[in-house]
Structure formats: C-alpha cells, structure tokens
Chain A
Amino acid sequence: MEVLRTGSGFWSALVWAATALGSFLIIWLFSRAFESGYKKGTDQTDPFLSGNPPAPGQRVTASHIYWGFVEALKGYYQPLVRAHSGIVNDYLAWAVLVGAIIFALLGGLMR
C-alpha cells in the first residue's frame, strides 16, 4: 500500500482509520460493562450554567463561547479590531506600508 512520504516520516490515512476503528471497537466492547448513568428527562441532561438555574429559552450562543479567552487577551484584541476599521483608505495605507517595507528590504539589501 502506498503511503505519503513527508520528508521526515510517512502518513497513511487508511492505517490511521483502521487503527481508530479498532480502538473504538475495543472501547465499545469495554463500555458494555460500564454502568449506564444517562437518565433522560432529569437534571443531568440540562446545560450547566455556572450553577445558575437555566431561564426559559436561555442557551449558550457563539458570543458566550471563548468569552474568557477574548477578555484575557483584550490588550491584544482591541488594537487588532481597531486596525480592521472597514475604511478603504486604511486598507490602502497598509498596502503602501508593506510596499515601502518590501522596497526598502529588496532595494537596500541588494546593494
């Protein structure tokens, strides 16, 4: 069977898939001996919202996910978002800046 040579090693997706399938099979066989803890319609099937009782219609939306990550990196994100101003003049300014750097690097270092 052909494998992908990556320069340092190799990769075969088919071998990986067979291994993954075998592993799942073993886990499934073991899981038959596990205790069945899932009880439909009980509290355990409700989302856990930091211990608060869920309000009607309350759910976890995209804005909630990774809120802490973004909050912790506020110092990084605020200037980054500001740079994405949506103003085409700013877009051009970035292109001019990059152009100047490329000109300086190529023009300066070739001499």
Chain B
Amino acid sequence: MDILAHVPILVVGIPLLGAFATPLIGRAGARARNWFAIFILLLTTALAIALAVSVYQSGPRVYVLGGQSFGFTLPSGYFFPIRIILEVDGMSAFFALIIAVTTLLGAIYSTAFIAGHSGLEKYYALLLLLAAGMFGMVVTGDAFNFFVFLEITSIAATGLVAFRTGRAESSEAAFKMMVLYNIGGLFVLLAVAILYGQYGALNFAYLARLIEYSLLDVIALALFVLALALKAGAVPMHMWVPDAYPAAPAPITMVMVANTQIGLYGLYRICFTLYGLKLTPALVGWIVIILGLASIFIGVSMAVIQRDLKRLIAYSGIAQIGYMLLGVGVGLAVLGTPALNSYGLMAMKGGIFHIINHAFYEGLLFLAAGAISYRTGTRNLDELGGLAHNMRWTAIFFIIGGAAIAGLPPFNGFASKLIIYESVFKFNPILAVIALLASILTLAIYTRAFQSAFVGPQLPAYKDVREAPASMMFPMGVLAILTVLFGLFPDLVVKYLVTPAAQALVNQAQYIEAILGAGLGVK
C-alpha cells in the first residue's frame, strides 16, 4: 500500500486517534504520555511536509472518503460529488506546515512548562485534538466538514485556555472565547445550510461552479466573513484575543496563533475559491482592507498601554493579523482586473508570507514570555527588570522576535512587510503609510517591553533566576532560527511556499477541476 497516497487523511486521522489514545498511554506514566504526544506530532509534521512537497510538485491532491477509489471524485452516473472529499492545494499545504511546526514545538515546550499540573493526559489529548481540527479545516473540500472541524478547534482551544482551572483569568477567558466561538460557529453553520438549501451540495468545488451570487448567497457570504473574521481576531471582534492569549499556557498561546490564522485561511478560501469572481471583489476586498486597517491601528494603539507582557504581545499580534488582511484584501479588491498581475498578486504574496512569519516570531515571543513567567512568576512589566543578566538566551530570542514583528531587517517580518508596503502603496498610498507608521509604533512597543523586562540592574527578587529548561529553550531556538533564515532567504520562501499558495487562491478553476474534472462520471 502506498502510504503517501493517504497523506491527506492521515494528517487529520493520526492526531485525532492520538488524542483519544493519549489518556490510555498516560496510564503508563508521564514520560510515556509526553513522548507519545511528541511522536504523534512529529509523525504528522513529516506527513505534512510530504504532502506539501507533493502538492508543490504535482498540483492539488484529492482524496475521496468511502468511494470506490481514493481519487474517484464522481461516482459512475453522477455529475456531482456526493462523498466527503479532501482537497489539498498550495494554500492548504502552506497552512498545514504552519500547524505542524507550531503544534510540534508546542508539545515539546509543554513537557517542562506544564509539568506539575494534574490532568495532563487531557491537556495533551486536547492539544492533539486541536491539531486534528486545524489540519481538518485546511484539507477538507467540504463545507459541512469545514464547520465540524471548526467546532473541533473551538472546543479543544477553549478547553486548553481553561486548562489551568486554578486561575480565575483562565476560566473567564475561556468562557468569553466559548461564547464568541459558538456564535461564530453558528454563523458558519447557517451559511452552510443556506448554500445547501439552495444548491443541494456541500462540496466547495461544486458549489463554486454553481454559485450565482443571489441574495441568499450574499447572506451566506456575510455570515462567513463575519464568523471567520471573528475567529481571526480582526478588530472590532478581537476583544477575546487579549483575554484568551495571556490566560492560556504559553505553548498553547503559540498554537492559538496558528488557530487564529486558520480563520484567515477560511476567509480566503470562501472569498477566492467558493465565490471567486462572482462576488463583487472590490467591495468585499475593501471590507477586508478596512478590517485589516482597523486591526493594525487599534492593535498597536492598545499594545502601547499594556503592562502585561503577554497581553502586549497579543495586541501587537492583532495588528499583524491586520497586515495579512490588508495584503490579501488588496489582492481581492483587484481580482479580475489587470491590477491583479500588476500589484494585486504581489500584495497577496506579502500577506500570505506574513502569515508564516507571524506564526514563527509571534510564537517565539509568546514562548519567551512563557519562559519569563515560568522563572519569575509574573508577566507584569512594571515588576520585571534586569533579566538579561540571568536569562541571556531568552533575551536574545526576545530581541529576534521583537525585531521581526517590528519589521526590522534582516528578519522575516521585514521581508513580508516590504512586499505589503510596496504593493499596497500602488493600490492606495494612504493605506501603506498607515501600515508603515504602525510598524514604527510596534518597534517602540517592543523597545519598551525589552527595556522593562531585560535591561537595567539585576533586581534582588530575580537574583537567582536561571534560564528555562532545555525543553523550553529548544522550541524557542528553532523558531528563532526559522525567523532569521526566513529573513535571510525570503526569495526561497516566496518562491517555494508563498507563490504556490497565492496562485492556488487566484486560480479558482484549478481547484474546481481537481474535483469535477477528475471523476470518470463527468457529463
């Protein structure tokens, strides 16, 4: 049996089965449980890499569940898909890599960070469940499955935020998140029901061919945009983010960044693949741009006044989500016009490149903040100071993350922001100027954060503070290396990872053909 032929389902199935097996493995001891979770995510990462290589070399991969053959999308005598079909294109593969890296590093970091808590088999089970849900969202080609996986991520993420039940902030943040995620999930379900009621189909590719942009389709689109922008934490629906991120354990906060980005994936998939040119691209593009601009502006503004380190990073992360919305929003606004090739596609590449960069540097910053709170017991910047004396590597990692998020060369954040600035400037110079000013403010924010936490004389309270354990330093080291390498060789990242993802979004026909053109029963 060719195992690689089944990779699309294995990236979902292995962490899912791993999640259910974790409580059983946990009976054999903490070490066995930890290594099991890491092994499952290592295996999933290897599969995600294999999947990405296959997609980048041969185009979209299709996998049919319960069919006569795994590539047989249309049963004989039918001209529309009736089974659950997974479809992995460049965009799906791009996100699968992000999910794989963040969840694996999160599991490794967790071994020391969360040790000592009770109920850890549930923690790792939820982490694997979250990974399965995120992988499911990006590989499914079915609208209802998309909703199901969205709910899986919501349940798992809420459970993980609430995991440290001894802290009031965890329960409160998880409750708020649960309410908002449920509302968002119901919006998605309603949108899917509207489309199913109209067309009697759930497959994205088939729906994309049928969709007419009737009033009902417009209502479904509005529901999708609202729900997925809420999951992505776009302003003004961002308020759960600064509550949930600090309340979650640091490795979970890093995974939550990827989980938030899956909201962007959904938004892009719906706008570009499902509706494509049938929507009014300029209007929807401007809605996305305005959400992005508001996120940039409000995100950095609020970050300036934060004293809680993780809350500060969370707010600046909201601003970074704004850059991703801005870049891809410009691409959407000029979809179907000559400007797409002139600068629209480049703006999309900038926005998509920023997604992977953000996952790495924001993850690094949260892990560094986690190392600080792990050793000092506080995240309050007013109480911290002089930590660079004892936590030199953490200080270096924080500088790398801070410089990258502020867009300083030669780190990865600079490369993606440069593409966004230049291409957005051609669309509307004012948008580019606002984005640029926000970056300067981000630099000011991280200068303050670094000065407050690491610089200055050694404080008596932290005289005996040591570096975090090796299992926490290793994931930070990996993310720091990726942040630097992606900054030094951005051309390679754009060429091999970002461009296929951007092309997959604008090439709606290829996505449709992979399903409707691959079956023998096409009429």
A residues whose Cβ falls under 8 Å from a Cβ of B = 2-9, 11, 13-14, 16-17, 59-63, 65-66, 69-70, 76-77, 80-81, 83-84, 86, 88, 90-92, 94-95, 97-99, 102-103, 105-107, 109-110
- What is the CA–CA distance of A13 and B449 in the complex, to the nearest angstrom? 26
- What is the CA–CA distance of A11 and B222 in the complex, to the nearest angstrom? 38
Q: Which residues of A contact B283 (CB under 8 A)?
A: 105-106, 109
Structural contact, B382 and A107, CB atoms closer than 8 A: no
Structural contact, A90 and B488, CB atoms closer than 8 A: no
- What is the CA–CA distance of A69 and B448 in the complex, to the nearest angstrom? 13
Asked if B452 is at the interface of the complex by the 8 Å CB criterion, the answer is yes
Partner of B287, one of A76, A81, A102: A102
- What is the CA–CA distance of A90 and B9 in the complex, to the nearest angstrom? 40
Structural contact, B183 and A102, CB atoms closer than 8 A: no
Closest-by-CB residue of B relative to A107 is B218
Closest CB pairs A-B (n = 4): A62-B381, A13-B410, A7-B346, A62-B452
Structural contact, B382 and A105, CB atoms closer than 8 A: no
Known contacts A62-B449, A90-B239; is-contact A99 B419 (Cβ 8 Å): no
Partner of A91, one of B218, B240, B426: B240
Q: Add 8 more A-B contacts to A8-B425, A13-B487, A94-B239 (CB < 8 A).
A: A2-B495, A7-B422, A13-B415, A17-B488, A62-B449, A63-B307, A102-B225, A110-B218
B 272-312 to A, binary, CB cutoff 8 A, 1 in contact else 0: 00000000100110010000000000100110110100000
Q: How far is the CB of B169 from chain A (nearest CB, A)?
A: 11
- What is the CA–CA distance of A5 and B451 in the complex, to the nearest angstrom? 35
Q: Which residues of A contact B240 (CB under 8 A)?
A: 91
Give the number of chain B interface residues (Cβ < 8 Å): 64
Asked if B28 is at the interface of the complex by the 8 Å CB criterion, the answer is no
Q: Which residues of A contact B213 (CB under 8 A)?
A: 110
B residues whose Cβ falls under 8 Å from a Cβ of A = 175-176, 179-180, 183, 187, 213, 215, 218-219, 221-223, 225-226, 229-230, 236-237, 239-240, 242-243, 280, 283-284, 287, 298, 301-302, 304-305, 307, 343, 346, 381-382, 384-385, 409-410, 414-415, 418-419, 422-423, 425-426, 444, 448-449, 451-452, 456-457, 487-492, 494-495
Structural contact, B494 and A61, CB atoms closer than 8 A: no
Q: Which residues of A contact B492 (CB under 8 A)?
A: 2
Structural contact, B382 and A66, CB atoms closer than 8 A: no
Known contacts A13-B487, A80-B301, A92-B180; is-contact A106 B218 (Cβ 8 Å): yes
Count of A-B residue pairs with CB < 8 Å: 142
Closest-by-CB residue of B relative to A61 is B382
Structural contact, B448 and A95, CB atoms closer than 8 A: no
Q: How far is the CB of B402 from chain A (nearest CB, A)?
A: 14
Structural contact, B237 and A66, CB atoms closer than 8 A: no
Structural contact, A66 and B221, CB atoms closer than 8 A: no
Q: Which residues of B contact A98 (CB under 8 A)?
A: 226, 229, 236-237
Q: How far is the CB of A67 from chain B (nearest CB, A)?
A: 10
Q: Which residues of B contact A59 (CB under 8 A)?
A: 385, 456-457
Q: Which residues of A contact B302 (CB under 8 A)?
A: 80, 84
Known contacts A62-B452, A94-B239; is-contact A70 B305 (Cβ 8 Å): yes
